[in-house]
Amino acid sequence: MSTMNISLPDNLKTFVDQQVSERGYGTSSEYVRELIRRDRDREQLRGLLMEGASTPPTEPIDDRYFENLRDRIQSRTKA
């Protein structure tokens, strides 16, 4: 694992320390790693949403579409 040192103003350091304490992180490094993972996941989700938004719909979105979607989900949970 690589090491990275960062400098924070006192108010941000205090905030990080509070988050570590209140949210059950063992260290400030754990907290920062979690923030980075969430940001990476957010970027991936944004990319998927943008990709989906740029493709044409394959079928109309109506009541029948949602009924089929519910049926597919229910069949997966029963398996």
In a domain, 1, yes or no: no
Q: How many residues are given for the chain?
A: 79
* Position 77 confidence tier, pLDDT thresholds 50, 70, 90: confident
Q: Any idea which residue has 């205090």 for tokens? A: 14
In a domain, 5, yes or no: no
Residues 28, 22: Cα–Cα separation, whole Å = 12
Number of domains in the chain: 1
Q: Tell me what pLDDT residue 79 has.
A: 63
In a domain, 74, yes or no: yes
Boundaries of domain holding 53: 10-78
| Helix, strand, coil abundance in the chain, percent, nearest 5 | 70, 0, 30
In a domain, 3, yes or no: no
DSSP state of 28: H
Over 80: is that where the pLDDT of 78 sits?
no
pLDDT single digits (tens) 35-74: 999 999 999 999 999 999 999 888 778 999 899 999 999 9
Whether the Cβ atoms of residue 23 and residue 31 lie closer than 8 Å to each other: yes
